[in-house]
Amino acid sequence: MDFKFTEDEEVFKREVRQWLEQEIPQRWIELDPGIWEETEESWALAREFQRKLGEKGWLAPAYPKEYGGLELSHMKRLILAEVLAYSRAPLSIEVEVTVNWVAPSIMLFGTEKQKRDYVTSIAKGDIIFCLGYSEPNAGSDLASLQTRAVEVGDEYVINGQKTWCSYGHLADYCWLAARTDPDASKHEGISIFIVDMKTPGITIRPLINILNRHSFNEVFFDDVHIPKENLVGQKNKGWYQLMIALDFERSSIGYAAANQRIIEELIKYAKETTRNGEPLANDPLIRNELAQLAVENEVARMMAYRIAWMFSKGLHPSYESSMSMIFISEVMRHTANAGGRILGHYGELDRDSKWTVLNARIMRMCLSSLSIGVGGGSNEIQRNIIAIRGLGLPRK
């Protein structure tokens, strides 16, 4: 099997790299925000860069042209995602949420007006969505959610609470799952809504994460009135739509490229750093660990390529997305832990120390990786999906 890109795809890859060399702001490189480390300054830089990508048609390259895309092949979309991730381009996690999770769901289930109003604006980089999924008593068991949406005339009135709402304090809209039939079984009676985050009745309270950053939030809905037209898809059929959206979330395209950059930096550090007069790279234990990381990351990359191939054939990845999500989460944790062992106590220092190495990225990755494998459905849930959908094992 030939895994090489075509000549046209290689030309596109070079074009993206050259453009990024000119367009990534120096200030973004200085801030160097990792996962869940956005500040208001880095968010502003990311939004500006997002609009530049939108102007080139590269923010949503595979979208139909009538909705702001270029209808590029899914392989070119993969190449773009990889180069952006490897280059550490100014894109927040909510761009991934908005462009690759929410908009494809709107294109599948939304009305023509919703596609024109939201998908086109997403492709331009003008709006950002946050997710209104988890609740205090509904995390991995998402079907237990209790936020209510009651139909009143030409509106829905929403009451309830969401938690772990990433960047809800900065987002324009919320992609909200709410219960519209309280008498139905827990997997029935759920609907999906688009909610303007400026709507009266919405209260946002910050949750400070392990990196001492404000990325997560509690969001309260108290008699929040939204137009009836903000219902996405069929009423009470939201669980099916939710599962499709989560499959988009779990595809993990691009993560292996970002992790590859870190592995390469660890290899360079091991070659250049000496201990007792010998480079760390001469230590067979370190060499073996780095080699193992490289192999694991290549496997994760091939899983992402498989998903891109499935999209290119009009197939919908389901358990394949769960496989990819589990594997890349474990590779990223392995990378963080291995990096900590290779760097030793230097890897424990933050960026304010003159002795820090690799801009404290390994220390920050060790902290942020604790939540990898939980968000988007825990790895235990993903293994259940693989067992049931992929292997055909019984639910009980």
Give yes or no for a contact between 175 and 191, defined as CB atoms under 8 angstroms apart. no
Type of residue found at 377? G
Distance CA 98, CA 107 (A): 12
Closest CA to 147 of 223, 247, 243: 223
If 0-12 CB within 10 Å is exposed, 13-18 middle and 19+ buried, where does residue 149 land? Answer: buried
- The SS3 assignment for 121 reads helix
**Rg of the chain's alpha carbons, rounded to an integer?**
22
Question: Which positions ≥6 away from 52 have C-beta within 8 Å?
Answer: 23, 125
Distance CA 169, CA 165 (A): 9
The residues annotated with a catalytic role in the active site are 249
Which DSSP symbol is given to 4? Answer: P
- The pair of structure tokens assigned to 368 is 């942020």
The H or E element spanning position 17 is helix 7-23
Give yes or no for a contact between 80 and 58, defined as CB atoms under 8 angstroms apart. yes
Distance CA 374, CA 372 (A): 5
